[in-house]
Amino acid sequence: MPAGVEADFRSPFSGGGGLVLGRKNVISAFYAGLFYIASILLVVGVGYKVFRYARTPAPLKIPVSPAPRTRTGVVFRMVREVVLFESLFKSNKWIWVFGYLFHFGMLVVLLRHLRYFTQPVWWWVEIVQPFGIYAGFAMLAGLGGLLLRRIVQERIRYISSPSDYLMLILLIGIAGTGMLMKYVEHTDIVQVKAYFIGLLNFQILEIPSSPILLIHVGSVALLMIIFPVSKLMHAPGLFFAPSRTQVDNAREFRHEVKWARNLPPLPEDIEQKKEG
């Protein structure tokens, strides 16, 4: 039993129940398996993709204006891109507003969720708690705005595939069920926490069988699974876009990659070339 979790939570696999698995136990085990698989796929999938991005050379210097001339400048540029969505702000205010509400709402909500995974809860996670409530609304509002835009704005509808709508619907589903549990259909939070802390310690406790909770966490697992094979890779991908991450110093420092170095050499002087 992890420290701090009250002793009266029963593990379905320890003690009296033995081999007879009830419906609840099957559900608990299923979700446990789902989360283990989802976590592995997320970490391995994203890790593999990031490894591939990092390994792939960028043969030429292609920073796009306004391009910083120093490494420090690039770090600041990227911080502004990640924290402020600077380029998006300059290029489209509506998408920026909705995108910003959604992402930073989601960030705060995620931080708030850390309380289900830490015992004792970290102090700063405690501080985040009250904001989390507004953040949930912000996230939903942002997602709603993005979905609406995707449907009503002709240009964006033109470039959308089914997966683009489904992704938003999935996220709205996650946020929506979360809010439902908060305001309408309360769940046994203490037991949920025990379940996830149990998973972190490789123990399968009992998950509350509220359908809303099961949809909520099931959708999160699905999101984790599709993350590495979907456009959600934009989050790590951003840090590998040469147009934004390269330093504008091509004249000062020679940029060269391996495959280019291995190209057949060209003649140094003109005469040789004419003969060849």
148 counts as binding other proteins under rule CB under 8 A = no
63 contacts 248 by C-beta, under 8 angstroms: yes
Nearer to ligand HEM, 93 or 273 (CB): 93
Of 42, 11, 21, 22, give the one whose Cα is nearest residue 220: 42
82 counts as binding ligand HEM under rule CB under 6 A = yes
What is the radius of gyration, based on Cα positions, of the chain?
Answer: 25
The Cα 19–Cα 33 span in angstroms is 18
Binding residue for other proteins, selected from 29, 34, 95, 97, defined by CB under 8 A: 95
Q: How large is the greatest C-alpha to C-alpha distance in the chain, in angstroms?
A: 92
Among ligand HEM, other proteins, none, the one that 248 touches (CB under a kind-dependent 5 to 8 A) is: other proteins
200 counts as binding other proteins under rule CB under 8 A = no
Nearer to other proteins, 10 or 255 (CB): 255
CA distances from 22 to 26, 27, 215, 260 (A): 6, 9, 20, 63
151 counts as binding other proteins under rule CB under 8 A = no
Nearer to ligand HEM, 122 or 239 (CB): 239
84 counts as binding other proteins under rule CB under 8 A = no
CA distances from 271 to 90, 216, 265, 268, 276 (A): 52, 73, 15, 9, 9
Tokens encoding 32: 């446990």
Nearer to other proteins, 87 or 119 (CB): 87
Binding residue for other proteins, selected from 49, 119, 181, 189, defined by CB under 8 A: 49
Give least dist CB 167 to ligand HEM, A.
Answer: 5
Tokens encoding 213: 């909770």
With 0-12 / 13-18 / 19 or more C-beta atoms within 10 angstroms meaning exposed / middle / buried, residue 150 is middle
262 counts as binding other proteins under rule CB under 8 A = no
40 counts as binding other proteins under rule CB under 8 A = no
64 counts as binding ligand HEM under rule CB under 6 A = no
Of 210, 186, 204, give the one whose Cα is nearest residue 10: 204
Q: What is the DSSP string of 18-84?
A: TT---HHHHHHHHHHHHHHHHHHHHHHHHHHHHHHHHHS---S----SS--SSHHHHHHHHHHHHHH
| Buried b or exposed e, range 248-259, using 16+ CB within 10 angstroms | beeeeeeeeeee
Nearer to ligand HEM, 88 or 214 (CB): 88
Among ligand HEM, other proteins, none, the one that 262 touches (CB under a kind-dependent 5 to 8 A) is: none
47 counts as binding other proteins under rule CB under 8 A = no
Interface residue list for other proteins (CB under 8 A): 49, 52-53, 56-69, 73, 81, 85, 87-88, 90-92, 95, 99, 149-150, 153-156, 158-164, 166, 229-231, 233-234, 237-238, 240-244, 248, 250-251, 253-256, 259-260, 263, 266-270, 273
Interface residue list for ligand HEM (CB under 6 A): 82, 85, 88, 95, 99, 102-103, 146, 164, 167-168, 171, 223, 232, 234-235, 238
